[in-house]
Amino acid sequence: MEEVLRHQAHRILNDYCMSNGINANGTDQKGATVAKNGRGFRYALVNISDGYAYITVTLHKNAAPTFNLSPEALEQYKARFGAK
């Protein structure tokens, strides 16, 4: 079950990044991977070389997923849609 949730989080994070103009490979040349972040249903897209989480998603049972952006991901978002 854990592996299914991780793959679902990966798909959701990639879709979110693509639709919001955020580089899904992160700030690392080696790319990024999805890792479980703490307890519950929270997953992070992290840089492979340093483990820096730049976007996280929390999956909820009865609500839409919620996202948290790092400053780097937020700058990419602002560059595409303007400052908010």
Q: What DSSP string runs through 21-78?
A: T--TTTT-TT-EEEEE-SSSSEEEEEETTT--EEEEEE--SSS--EEEE-HHHHHHHH
Q: Is residue 80 part of a domain?
A: no
Average pLDDT of the residues in 19-32: 79
> What pLDDT does 73 receive?
86
> What pLDDT does 28 receive?
64
Q: Is residue 30 part of a domain?
A: yes
pLDDT at 21 over 80: yes
Q: Is residue 46 part of a domain?
A: yes
pLDDT at 68 over 70: yes
CA angle 57, 71, 51 (to 5 degrees): 60
Q: Is residue 19 part of a domain?
A: yes
Q: Is residue 81 part of a domain?
A: no
Instruction: Give how many domains the chain has, as a whole number.
Output: 1
Average pLDDT of the residues in 29-49: 86
Structural domain including 57 reads 2-74
- DSSP structural state of residue 1: -
Per the model's pLDDT, the better-predicted residue between 81 and 44 turns out to be: 44
Q: Is residue 82 part of a domain?
A: no
Q: Is residue 61 part of a domain?
A: yes
